[in-house]
Amino acid sequence: MSGFGNDKEKMIDQIVREVAYRIEKENGMAANAANAQGAVVLMTTQVPGCREAVSIIDENFGSDTEYIGFGGCKFPAGPYPAVTDADLLDLNAVYEKVLGKETLILLAPKIKLLEKMSTGDDDELAVYLATRSLLWGKKVVMLLDFEPPRFKRNTFYERVVSAVEMLEDIGIEVKTYRCVPDAEEGMLILVTERDVREAAIKGKPRIRKTAAALVTPSAKDAATELGITIDG
């Protein structure tokens, strides 16, 4: 019985040490969070419209913002900020960089990453850092290279809109920037069935759109039905 008692005491001592270690670690994180300043950008894929993205970040978060790239992501040659390669850093060094900043920004992430974040799937380091930053009380910003679509039912865009709405619900601030030039006045970057039917009501035989504009299937069907030409 004495042996069992010693084992029990050892187990209790081990638990106490583990709890003390975790409390000390959490206190250290809290202290780091309280002293955090500036912003860090996580780049998980090549960024479209680099100039516009950096301009938005400089304007909103300062030109001293730090950039960390995952999977070899970096800016092209030119007057862009330096990007630290996360793959060349010790994992603790990555944590320290994030802990030392007040704001974390995810720049132009893939749709799949948006969905992972919205469901709490944090098996990717960038997602883990973003979700943990929320739990640590930091500001987390999602900087998208597109405006969330206006329509969604029974389309691929339903996933996009649902993920963005979920991220906003859990406290992530969603910002956007334009990576393509503004369309000429009167040219649409998205043509829906509603646009076609409004053109028909107004007696307009043509709809002008940009070369890269999205035309929904229902818009194409309505154009054929009503004799409306979609240019571009």
Does 208 share its domain with 96? no
Give pLDDT tens digits along the chain (232 positions): 445 556 656 666 666 666 655 665 555 555 555 577 899 999 999 999 898 899 999 999 998 999 999 999 999 988 899 999 999 999 999 999 999 999 999 999 999 999 999 998 999 999 999 999 999 999 999 999 988 877 667 777 888 888 999 999 999 999 998 876 655 656 777 788 888 999 999 899 999 887 777 788 888 999 999 999 998 6
> Does residue 161 lie in a domain region?
yes
Does 223 share its domain with 165? no
> Does residue 5 lie in a domain region?
no
pLDDT score, position 174: 94
pLDDT score, position 211: 75
The CATH number that applies at residue 88 is 3.40.50.1950
Q: What is the DSSP string of the chain?
A: -HHHHHHHHHHHHHHHHHHHHHHHHHHHHHHHHHT--SEEEEE-SPPSSHHHHHHHHHHHH-TT-EEEESTT--PPSSS---EEEGGGS-HHHHHHHHHT-SEEEEES--HHHHHHHHHT---SHHHHHHHHHHHTT-EEEEEESSPPPS--TTSHHHHHHHHHHHHHHTTPEEEE---SPPPPTT-EEEE-HHHHHHHHHTT--EEEEEEEEEE-HHHHHHHHHHT-EEE-
> Does residue 23 lie in a domain region?
no
> Does residue 8 lie in a domain region?
no
Does 103 share its domain with 198? no
> Does residue 60 lie in a domain region?
yes
User: By residue range, what is the domain housing residue 148?
Assistant: 36-176
Does 77 share its domain with 161? yes
> Does residue 171 lie in a domain region?
yes
Does 197 share its domain with 221? yes
Does 159 share its domain with 223? no
pLDDT score, position 1: 47
> Does residue 223 lie in a domain region?
yes
Does 101 share its domain with 192? no
Does 159 share its domain with 59? yes
pLDDT score, position 99: 93
Does 172 share its domain with 193? no
> Does residue 12 lie in a domain region?
no
pLDDT score, position 73: 94
**What's the domain count of the chain?**
2
Does 106 share its domain with 219? no
Does 155 share its domain with 41? yes
